[in-house]
Homo-oligomer: A and B are copies of this chain.
């Protein structure tokens, strides 16, 4: 597995899932050839692009014009093919079946997204989200339970990186949540 480094992505001012979290998220999604991955709140498209390079067919939805342009540029840079949707989930999502779903941002519509996934995520499909607030994480866990997802995992990752002069610089703590549809 060749992994793309943060600095290789074209970013602008759009927040991007950082390397450690991106790698772990893709590992929890357990992407394999033939997967159909839905990326909700795709940002710069870093998760989508790695997903595509790992063999998934990818649909990415993003509401901000700046994000859409960045994803497009990054797709070209890394020679990845992504079905890009400008809009809001789940309202603007196509009625397709997916095997994997990543939630990078829910825009306050997590319940509607789970309703959508109830119809559109396959049995044994995986939903995985990144969370930086207790409120959204708690809602995600509650919805996983309400919809009876199995193999629920919640990881809290705090990573720090040594900078050029040897200082350990902390990142924000990120929660990675995951469940498998029954």
Q: Are the CB atoms of B159 and A155 closer together than 8 Å?
A: yes
A161/B153 contact (C-beta < 8 A), A30-B2, A54-B1 known: yes
Q: Which residues of B are found within 8 Å of A155, using beta-carbon distances?
A: 20, 159-162
Task: Please tell me if the beta carbons of B162 and A167 are within 8 angstroms of each other in the complex.
Answer: no
Which residues of A (131-161) have their CB < 8 Å from a CB of B? 132-135, 137-138, 141, 152-161
Tell me the bound Cα distance from A47 to B5 in angstroms.
21
Asked if A169 CB lies within 8 Å of chain B CBs, one says yes
Q: How many copies does the complex hold?
A: 4
Hey, which chain B residues are within 8 Å of A167, CB to CB? 132-133, 172
Q: Which residues of B contact A170 (CB under 8 A)?
A: 158, 170-173
A168: contacting residue among B32, B134, B152, B159, CB under 8 A: B134
**Interface digits, A1-44 against B, CB 8 Å rule (1 contact, 0 not)?**
11100000000000000011001101100111000000000000
- In this assembly, does A166 line the interface, its C-beta being within 8 Å of a C-beta of chain B? yes
Tell me the complex Cα distance, A135–B161, Å.
14
14 contacts between A and B (CB under 8 A): A1-B26, A1-B27, A1-B31, A1-B32, A3-B27, A3-B30, A132-B167, A135-B138, A154-B161, A154-B162, A154-B168, A156-B159, A156-B173, A167-B172
